[in-house]
């Protein structure tokens, strides 16, 4: 009995130790922040982490090959990490003292910059001859924290509207334009809906979607003083409008209906199946839709009181532990210059952030494009992009919205109640930048 007891408790102990171990293993090397194991002598041996899949890997590698051809003294090891685990992996690398030299960042950029993990790039960029304004337009300083730039834009495209041409033609509705108001939009959705069979719109439950509506309505998620403003009237109105699309007007499938489309089929998948007439999402849906049987095109997002649309994209940052920040910046300069940026569109990966490339024929008529798609839409939308608040607590804020708004999307709660609760939660999460 005693032996058995000792054995089992020890196992229990071990099992738990393992759980604790996962958390703390990362602690082991945290003190060696100074020496990045990745880069050696003063030369240009750099490690670059990016997320994505095969297309992304090809695109980044091709650009790096171009870079190495031009600057033979620089060599870059590309580490592609699946999107879902990217943040954890990079976190572990940094905590373990072998962080990357160049890392891809997006909305979460200030998680790192606020924790002193990225080098401020203003001076370095000047040194490398990058004029952010001129090269990227209004998004040049998108990845900033406390007036310092921490990442150079690399990919950037507005959210756009995909619409099913067949369904629109059948109802005699003109293609959507940037001048559609919420009312025009709603009545079009209503016409395009066949209850239980076909829906006008895929929904606006994702932050990128309903935030666009909130900003269109004159709202802000985080106000100018850095405090959350989730329960301000314009935001509440926008969320209520998005919720009503599902629960009052029935022009958006309910969660239940989505779950019936298949495991993890969301708006993009349902649109490709031809069940949904309009879907608002990013550039990435194009390649999949080229293979689908439906007839479709793209358009800019409609407007509210004003134009506003979320931008998707990512930037390249230089980590604090990079041995040779100058070389890293030299590499980023080249990667965001036209020659390398063209590869982004040639491989069908994304919208290049470089404005010259966005306006070039390489982008407007990509070689791989097999359907007549109006690529001008990206350029048209770029002036509508609002500046989303990339706060250091980004992930927690998103989680609070996801959990808090769920009841609105399923019609159990009105937007005001839900957003009031979320606002309280956000106030404990977000410490205004001092």
Residues that bind other proteins (CB under 8 A): 1, 4-5, 8-9, 11-21, 23-28, 30, 87-88, 91, 94-95, 111-112, 115-117, 255-260, 262-266, 393, 395-396, 399, 402-403, 406, 410
Q: Measured from the CB atom, is 21 or 138 closer to other proteins?
A: 21
Whether 98 and 105 have beta carbons less than 8 Å apart is answered as: no
Helix (H) or strand (E) holding 313: strand 311-318
Whether 283 and 378 have beta carbons less than 8 Å apart is answered as: yes
Whether 198 and 276 have beta carbons less than 8 Å apart is answered as: yes
CB of 433 to other proteins, least distance (A): 16
For residues 243, 416, 177 and 143, what is the CA-based torsion angle, rounded to 10 degrees? -110
Q: Measured from the CB atom, is 31 or 361 closer to other proteins?
A: 31
What tokens does 226 get?
């850095």
CB atoms within 10 A of CB 402: 14
List beta partners, residue 102. Answer: 48, 318
Tell me 279's DSSP state. E
Q: Measured from the CB atom, is 117 or 307 closer to other proteins?
A: 117
CB of 262 to other proteins, least distance (A): 7
d(CA 203, CA 280): 8
CB of 297 to other proteins, least distance (A): 24
Q: Measured from the CB atom, is 10 or 227 closer to other proteins?
A: 10
Whether 254 and 245 have beta carbons less than 8 Å apart is answered as: no
CB of 412 to other proteins, least distance (A): 10
CB of 5 to other proteins, least distance (A): 6
Tell me 32's DSSP state. G
CB of 99 to other proteins, least distance (A): 9
What tokens does 32 get?
């060696």
Q: Measured from the CB atom, is 5 or 69 closer to other proteins?
A: 5
Q: Measured from the CB atom, is 94 or 286 closer to other proteins?
A: 94
What tokens does 263 get?
């495991």
CB of 119 to other proteins, least distance (A): 14
Q: Measured from the CB atom, is 55 or 114 closer to other proteins?
A: 114
């Amino acid at each position: 009995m005693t032996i058995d007891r000792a054995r089992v408790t020890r196992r229990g102990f071990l099992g738990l130790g393992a759980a604790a171990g996962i958390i703390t293993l990362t602690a082991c090397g945290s003190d060696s922040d100074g020496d990045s194991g990745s880069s050696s002598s003063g030369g240009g041996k750099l490690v670059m982490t990016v997320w994505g899949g095969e297309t992304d890997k090809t695109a980044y590698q091709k650009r790096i090959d171009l870079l190495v051809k031009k600057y033979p003294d620089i060599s870059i090891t590309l580490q592609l990490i699946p999107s879902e685990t990217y943040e954890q992996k990079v976190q572990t690398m940094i905590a373990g003292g072998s962080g990357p030299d160049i890392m891809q960042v997006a909305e979460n950029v200030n998680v790192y910059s606020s924790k002193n993990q990225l080098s401020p790039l203003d001076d370095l960029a000047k040194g490398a001859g990058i004029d952010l304004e001129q090269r990227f337009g209004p998004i040049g300083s998108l990845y900033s924290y406390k007036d310092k730039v921490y990442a150079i834009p690399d990919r950037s495209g507005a959210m756009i509207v995909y619409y099913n041409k067949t369904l629109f033609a059948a109802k005699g509705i003109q293609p959507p334009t940037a001048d559609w108001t919420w009312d025009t939009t709603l009545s079009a959705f209503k016409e395009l809906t066949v209850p239980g069979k076909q829906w006008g719109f895929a929904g606006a439950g994702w932050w990128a979607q309903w935030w666009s509506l909130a900003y269109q309505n004159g709202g802000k998620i985080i106000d100018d003083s850095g405090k959350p403003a989730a329960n301000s009237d314009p935001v509440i109105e926008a969320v209520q409008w998005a919720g009503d699309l599902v629960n009052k007007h029935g022009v958006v499938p309910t969660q239940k209906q989505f779950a019936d489309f298949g495991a993890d089929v969301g708006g993009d998948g349902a649109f490709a199946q031809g069940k949904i007439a309009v879907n608002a999402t990013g550039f990435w849906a194009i390649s999949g839709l080229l293979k689908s049987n439906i007839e479709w095109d793209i358009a800019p997002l409609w407007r509210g009181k004003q134009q506003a649309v979320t931008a998707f994209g990512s930037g390249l940052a230089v980590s604090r532990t990079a041995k040779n920040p100058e070389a890293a910046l030299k590499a980023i300069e080249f990667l965001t210059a036209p020659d390398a940026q063209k590869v982004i569109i040639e491989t069908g990966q994304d919208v290049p952030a470089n404005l010259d490339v966005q306006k070039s024929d390489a982008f407007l008529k990509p070689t791989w494009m097999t359907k007549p798609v109006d690529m001008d839409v990206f350029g048209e939308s770029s002036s509508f992009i609002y500046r989303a608040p990339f706060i250091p607590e980004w992930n927690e804020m998103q989680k609070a919205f996801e959990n808090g708004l769920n009841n609105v999307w399923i019609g159990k709660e009105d937007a005001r109640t839900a957003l009031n609760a979320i606002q309280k939660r956000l106030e404990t999460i977000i410490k205004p930048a001092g």
